[in-house]
């Protein structure tokens, strides 16, 4: 399973209105699942302690703490379509989307941000190297979870 950061296709960019920051990672896989199943395999139904620390603690994102069909890891499911799901969360300093796409022998995760305050950009600049190191691992862990099903 090879994970790579890729140029963001326009078809993926069109799935989020946020444009201050964007990245896109793909994983080649034979595992078949819906985008929501992939998102839940990667992130879970509620945020774990590390996710709460990063997402709520450092970024200030307001996340649900209870499992719900309308959320993934506390992120609100904003929209879904054939082959994709977009989750969103916001804080006082930034708004974030995670887009998960599945099909054609791969799963992809894209992150989009809009800075609501200058501090959001400063905080993200400090956290983005950690984010970029974690996303490929999250994709691989999601694939392993789906394979076990």
Query: What is the model's pTM?
Result: 0.94
Distance CA 39, CA 140 (A): 12
Q: pLDDT per position in the chain (149 positions), as tens?
A: 556 567 899 999 999 999 999 999 999 999 999 999 999 999 999 998 889 999 999 999 999 989 999 999 999 999 999 999 999 999 999 999 999 999 989 999 999 999 999 999 999 999 999 999 999 999 999 999 998 87
Query: What's CA 122's distance to the chain center, in Å?
Result: 20
Three-state SS for 35-102 is HHHHHHHHHCCCCCHHHHHHHHHHCCCCCCCCCCCCEECCEEEEEEECCEEEEEEECCCEEEEEEEEE
Residue 148, pLDDT score:
86
Tens-place pLDDT, residues 23-57: 999 999 999 999 999 999 999 999 988 899 999 99
Distance CA 4, CA 140 (A): 11
**Are the beta carbons of 84 and 100 closer than 8 angstroms?**
yes
DSSP state of 2: -
Domains, in order of start, for the chain: 3-148 (3.30.530)
């Amino acid at each position: 399973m090879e994970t790579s950061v890729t140029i963001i296709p326009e078809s993926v960019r069109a799935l989020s209105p946020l444009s201050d920051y964007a990245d896109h990672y793909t994983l080649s896989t034979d595992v078949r699942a819906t985008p929501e199943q992939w998102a839940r395999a990667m992130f879970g139904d509620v945020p774990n302690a590390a996710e709460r620390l990063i997402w709520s603690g450092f970024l200030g994102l307001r996340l649900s703490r209870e499992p719900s069909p309308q959320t993934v890891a506390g992120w609100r499911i904003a929209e879904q379509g054939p082959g994709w799901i977009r989750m969103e969360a916001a804080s006082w300093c930034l708004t974030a989307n995670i887009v998960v796409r599945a099909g054609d022998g791969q799963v992809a995760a894209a992150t989009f941000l809009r800075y609501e305050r200058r501090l959001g950009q400063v905080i993200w600049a400090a956290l983005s190297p950690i984010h970029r190191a974690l996303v490929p691992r999250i994709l691989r862990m999601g694939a392993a979870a789906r394979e076990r099903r």
